[in-house]
Structure 1
């Protein structure tokens, strides 16, 4: 059955179209670290109108979030909620900002949401902390403790940080280089290492096996 498009005034339609352009511009400026989403609050069951730099795995046509529903229910709900802690479905930490858009009647029409993947920036923070350390001997040491899942994820984050990108944005050739590095460092001997790597890169285990060959 074809989805029925809710009726909109010319003003509301114009706001949505302009917001889509703003979202595209922001996404191209902050790629690949920032997911930018346009929510059509006039159609809450199919609210996602556009999504750029997809980090959350959602799709166009997915329903409104709790925040979106709150705006629909209350025109007095804050228009700007900035830099609040968030989390992607796979556990990655994010920083989010949500901006509500009203029409001339004072009701919410749409929302522009930005979700920043903090993985790279926290890795860079660790790298900078090590770089600024006065204990050169400690900075050059590698841990001899048995590697676990957290150690694998941290190594992947560090690899991506060296390339100024995120693990999920690594190109195929970079992933192959990463797998070689993990193997040489002994991380691939960890139980379920392939699964851990696949989840952190956002690819299938079969893909990781192909890179590891």
Structure 2
């Protein structure tokens, strides 16, 4: 059985296993038409993509890698759709025996409703004692993982996904990131602004709002 045929079989099985909220996509990097790299797609409504659409940022970064052997699979990271829904994503690089990259298998599970349900349950079960406990910081291996973790914490603090956040909710999340030192990380402003669906100007205005509130309290 050919590698692509086997991947399609696995993709179809995963889609049946996890249901309509789970998108499975295969990018063919051997084709000469990389602007239409998607050769197989299950539940494309999750991201709004269609068969024959072009590469994602993950694919473009993989194509720019001059040493494909350095590409390693990544599982369970967060991504976001254009309309603000939160996805739990995994990316698998399919190479041949010479480490040449041929295909990318992507899994994107829409967890937006689960996050909303989790927040609602937490509000019911939360106690004063739990609130007083200080959360143990997560140990990360690089600043990118650290920034991802801080963004996840800011969303958890607000208690709802970005798609459902008001301006006040986003200001609260931005304040948490600012207080946590997230903006000391290089180019973090671009990533945070993109994640929350706001411009960098708006991002800075939100941090200014926080400064003004702090001055009023003095």
Short-chain TM bin? 0.5 to 0.7
1:47 aligns with 2:37: yes
Aligned 8 A contact 1:35 1:51 in 2: yes
How far apart are residue 72 of structure 1 and its match?
A: 3.0
Aligned 8 A contact 1:35 1:53 in 2: yes
3-state DSSP class of the match of 1:76? helix
Aligned 8 A contact 1:71 1:77 in 2: no
| Distance in structure 2 (CA, Å) of the matches to 1:89 and 1:122 | 18
Aligned 8 A contact 1:94 1:117 in 2: yes
| Distance in structure 1 (CA, Å) of the matches to 2:165 and 2:74 | 34
**Per-residue Cα deviation, 1:33-60 (whole angstroms, up to 9, x for no partner):** 2111111111222111111122111111
User: Which structure 2 residue ranges, 5 or more long, are not aligned?
Assistant: 129-162, 167-218
Choose the corresponding residue for 2:98, options 95, 101, 105.
105
Report the equivalent of 1:92. 85
How far apart are residue 78 of structure 1 and its match?
A: 2.1
How far apart are residue 76 of structure 1 and its match?
A: 2.6
How far apart are residue 128 of structure 1 and its match?
A: 1.8
Aligned 8 A contact 1:70 1:77 in 2: no
| Distance in structure 2 (CA, Å) of the matches to 1:25 and 1:151 | 35
Aligned 8 A contact 1:41 1:64 in 2: no
1:17 aligns with 2:5: yes
Aligned 8 A contact 1:79 1:101 in 2: no
3-state DSSP class of the match of 2:116? helix
Choose the corresponding residue for 1:57, options 48, 52, 59.
48
- Aligned-residue CA RMSD (Å): 2.4
| Distance in structure 2 (CA, Å) of the matches to 1:91 and 1:151 | 9
3-state DSSP class of the match of 1:115? strand
| Distance in structure 2 (CA, Å) of the matches to 1:38 and 1:150 | 30
Give the TM-score normalised by structure 2: 0.52
Higher helix share: 2
| Distance in structure 1 (CA, Å) of the matches to 2:36 and 2:164 | 36
Matches within 5 A, 1:164-179: none
Give the TM-score normalised by structure 1: 0.54
| Distance in structure 2 (CA, Å) of the matches to 1:125 and 1:66 | 29
Report the equivalent of 2:72. 79
How far apart are residue 134 of structure 1 and its match?
A: 6.3
* Larger Cα-atom Rg: 1
| Distance in structure 1 (CA, Å) of the matches to 2:88 and 2:16 | 18
| Distance in structure 1 (CA, Å) of the matches to 2:14 and 2:164 | 32
| Distance in structure 1 (CA, Å) of the matches to 2:15 and 2:107 | 9
